[in-house]
Amino acid sequence: MNDRGPVTALMPEFGPCYAEEIARLAGNAASEGERDFRGQRLAEYVMVLVLAGVMPPSLLQQFLQRAPAGLRRQAIWFLGNQVSLPAKDMPDEMRRRGQAYWEMRLAAATGSSNPDDYGWELGVIDHWCYHGMLDELWLADQLLGMLAIGLVPTNGYHTIEWLAKLTVSHVDSAVEVLLGLVQHADKSRWIYVTNQTPIRIILSEGRDRGSQETAGRVSRIVSHLASLGDPSYLDLDLPRSDTNRPRD
């Protein structure tokens, strides 16, 4: 619990120790406070081993089966910090392993009969957006994948801020994600209550520089927000001023 991290070269020897520690997740041997601390440290160690490519798949599956949603969320939160490090500290191969772990968890949610079971875990994607260091289109695709199964970022402030920045290079993708978020406004009231400035940026850029399909999405977003009792965006639902706009 007080070490600086796992020694990846010793993973074969320490496999039984990890199995024992994972088994503790379902036990009651420690106090609640200690169990949380031990569990969080274990989740971080597991992610370090995943990034290094030395975590046995069987042990990883045991962790995922036994760890409660809070620890699975902690794992992805920690992973987001790691994959967002500069290239000198996070080689591309390790970064890709981190992204692959996320993709695996999203695939599990997509294939589940109850995707909401993964909502707290995957909702931490807002933290990945906060860092904003990963491939933009990859991150947008992950958000769209979540939205397709009814999951939203837990705290979407950073997500909306990131989408506003995304409009510079991928305006169509930014509007598409925003539409998905707005359509789940019953789960994410923060979308249109506390993020008006970045939302206006996304909508105005989508109207002025997006494709015809994006302009249509802008109109749908404005109409939907008005139906929720927020008519402040209606001025953005205006005819396009020209037809020669750059595309994503």
Amino acid, res. 231:
P
pLDDT at 1: 66
Number of CB atoms found within 10 A of residue 34's CB: 11
Task: List the one residue out of 122, 205, 128, 198 whose CA is nearest residue 160.
Answer: 198
Which of 18-32, 52-66, 68-82 is least confident?
Answer: 18-32
Q: Calculate ∠ Cα 87-71-105, nearest 5°.
A: 65
| Amino acid sitting at position 121 | E
Across 32-41, 96-105, 106-115, least confident range: 32-41
**pLDDT exceeds 80 at position 2:** no
CA-based nearest residue to 72, from 99, 44, 52, 32: 44
Asked if 156 contacts 195 with a C-beta cutoff of 8 angstroms, the reply is yes
152: Cβ contacts below 8 Å, ≥ 6 apart: 119, 123, 146, 181, 184, 187, 188
Residue 33 in this model has a pLDDT that exceeds 50:
no
C-alpha dihedral over 99, 148, 40, 33, to 10 degrees? 170
Angle ∠(131,47,54) on CA atoms, nearest 5: 130
How far apart are alpha carbons 167 and 189 in whole angstroms? 22
Nearest to 139 by CA among 131, 59, 22: 131
pLDDT bin (cut points 50, 70, 90) of residue 176 is: very high
- Cut 0.85: pTM above it: yes
Q: How far is the C-alpha of 99 from the C-alpha of 162, rounded, in Å? A: 18
Q: pLDDT tens digits for 72-106? A: 999 999 999 999 999 999 999 999 999 999 999 99
Helices (H), the chain: 11-24, 32-52, 57-66, 69-83, 92-110, 119-122, 125-131, 136-148, 157-183, 190-193, 196-209, 212-227
Portion of the chain with pLDDT greater than 90, in percent = 77
